[in-house]
Amino acid sequence: MTVFLLIFAVAAGFYMAWNIGANDCANAMGTVVGSGSVSLRKAIILAAIFEFAGAFLVGSSVADTIKGNIVPVESFASIQLFSLGMLAALLAASLWLNVATAMGQPVSTTHAIIGAVVGFAVLANGPGCVRWSQMGGIAASWVISPVVGALLAYLAYACVRRFVLNSRHPVFMARRAVPVAAGLVIFIMTMSVVFRGLPKLRLDMSLPQALLTSAAVAFVAGGAIWLNVRANRRHVLLKHRYAVIESWFGRLQLVTACYMAFAHGANDVANAIGPLAGAIEGLHKGTLTAKAPIPPWLLALGGLGIVMGLATYGYKVIESIGKRITEITPTRGFSAELGTATTVLVCSKLGLPISTTFVIVGAVMGVGMARGFAALDLRVIRKIFASWLVTIPISAVLSAILFQLLRVIAGR
């Protein structure tokens, strides 16, 4: 029975990861494919690489939170019950994701899984067992992260306007911007990997070490990109100036798209692997050490699931997005993606499971506030809030039901 449940759990976790890849990956690559800066094929490959890397190298903090910090295992009558609950949560979240997507409704994988985890725990042990202070912090981050995303995106686009579009030689400044911004992105990504990273891979550096390493990597990469930019420069006619600036930012947008995929992998892999880790430890070892680190092979499994989802279904979404959203030109896409990815990555390091979609909407608003878009329909915010209000209770209830079912089947 235990072996069967274990296999079932791994399958459920993989399925959840697949769902994440199928639904959410388009967030990163949609606009850069749409603006024509990169082909669909290359986008899929890059997305796969970076989603996996983000999941594997940075995903553990958030996974830890979902596994052990929302619902303490001690409150359960037996470890096996805890594991069953996590399994139920995985199934419930996946189910709701599929249903909502089929109905064309917006849905956040993060909200679904957290609602599900809270759902089965409340059914089993009553509301008192949930660590509400932790939940409060998470809920606060759901509200704060889009605001931060908006702020960063606003700053990014304001800088683009001030230092590139408004400068005396916009095309020259655009060329300059590419290695600088790329270097910044690489710096942040490297920092997220090496500062308190995976101890098993010796990526657990101290702050000064991490800063130095990241700076060095960023410098080298930025330098290489600068040389490439210089080799590709051409004299530009005044009337083509705008199109040329956008094309330079198109290359930069490729960097930020990979950055987004990385950040998304880091934050969302936990939605599948957190509960799975809890379920596996409980069923397999019979004990759960709250502080036990998530084994890298589990993170790799999650990363693989995401990549599979992207490769088998997600690419269709990428294609359809790019065709429809023409307003996000490379300068704006770059700003929004920079704001989103930085926010999501920082939250991932802090162990906060947030909804990347909320942050993206916030970032787009931020760019809008910097005069980036002709018109933004604020009604969408209402729809997204509605989806949040709907997802959490539904997945909670679903999870509770499935939990009961599993208890009956497992005879507990």
Partner 1 sequence: MMRRLDSLFGRSPFEPLVEHARKVHQCVEMVRPIADAVLASDGEKCRQLQHEMSKTEYEADLLKDKVREALPHRYFLPVDREDIANFLRQMDRIADDAEDFAVASTLRTLRVPQELHADFLALVDKVVQVSEALLNVAEHLGQLQKEAFAGPEAQEVTQKIRQVCFMEWESDKLSRKLARHYYGLDSIDPITLIILEKLSRALSGIADHAENVGKNLRLMIIRK
Alpha helices in 103-240 (DSSP H): 109-125, 132-159, 170-194, 207-231
The number of beta carbons lying within 10 Å of the beta carbon of residue 287 is 10
Return d(Cα 321, Cα 34) in angstroms, integer.
7
Could you say whether residue 360 binds partner 1 (CB under 8 A)?
A: yes
Query: Cβ distance 149 to 306 under 8 Å?
Result: no
Could you say whether residue 8 binds partner 1 (CB under 8 A)?
A: no
- Name the one range near partner 1 by CB under 8 A: 76-84, 215-223, 296-304, 353-361: 353-361
In the bound complex, what is the minimum distance in angstroms from residue 369's beta carbon to partner 1? 8
Pair of tokens at residue 409: 């089947």
Identity of the residue, 144 or 325, whose beta carbon is nearer to partner 1 in the bound complex? 325
Could you say whether residue 165 binds partner 1 (CB under 8 A)?
A: yes
Give the dihedral of Cα atoms 346, 152, 357, 48; nearest 10 deg: -60
- Name the one range near partner 1 by CB under 8 A: 190-198, 271-279, 290-298, 316-324: 316-324
Query: Cβ distance 110 to 264 under 8 Å?
Result: no
Helix (H) or strand (E) run with residue 389 in it: helix 379-410
Could you say whether residue 324 binds partner 1 (CB under 8 A)?
A: yes
Instruction: Rule CB under 8 A: choose which of 9, 16, 26, 288 binds partner 1.
Output: 26
Could you say whether residue 205 binds partner 1 (CB under 8 A)?
A: no
Largest CA distance in the chain: 76
Q: What is the CA radius of gyration of the chain?
A: 22
Q: Nearest 5 degrees, angle CA 70-CA 75-CA 79?
A: 95
Q: Nearest 5 degrees, angle CA 372-CA 164-CA 161?
A: 30
- What binding mask, one character per residue, do residues 80-119 give for partner 1 by CB under 8 A, x or -? ------------------------x-xxx-----------
Could you say whether residue 372 binds partner 1 (CB under 8 A)?
A: yes
Identity of the residue, 24 or 51, whose beta carbon is nearer to partner 1 in the bound complex? 24
Backbone phi and psi for residue 205, each to the nearest 5 degrees, phi listed first = -90, 160
Pair of tokens at residue 324: 């429809």
- Name the one range near partner 1 by CB under 8 A: 112-120, 280-288, 318-326, 346-354: 318-326
Return d(Cα 332, Cα 195) in angstroms, integer.
30
Identity of the residue, 348 or 391, whose beta carbon is nearer to partner 1 in the bound complex? 391
Identity of the residue, 80 or 391, whose beta carbon is nearer to partner 1 in the bound complex? 391
Identity of the residue, 213 or 329, whose beta carbon is nearer to partner 1 in the bound complex? 329
Identity of the residue, 1 or 380, whose beta carbon is nearer to partner 1 in the bound complex? 380
- Name the one range near partner 1 by CB under 8 A: 138-146, 192-200, 201-209, 360-368: 360-368
Number of residues that bind partner 1 (CB under 8 A): 46
Could you say whether residue 170 binds partner 1 (CB under 8 A)?
A: yes
Query: Cβ distance 274 to 63 under 8 Å?
Result: yes
Backbone phi and psi for residue 195, each to the nearest 5 degrees, phi listed first = -85, 110
Could you say whether residue 365 binds partner 1 (CB under 8 A)?
A: yes
Query: Cβ distance 255 to 37 under 8 Å?
Result: no
Could you say whether residue 366 binds partner 1 (CB under 8 A)?
A: no
- Name the one range near partner 1 by CB under 8 A: 140-148, 184-192, 363-371, 398-406: 363-371
Which residues contact partner 1 (rule: CB under 8 A)?
A: 23-24, 26-27, 30, 104, 106-108, 157, 161-162, 165-167, 170, 238, 241-242, 317, 320-321, 324-325, 327, 329, 357, 360-361, 364-365, 368-380, 383-384
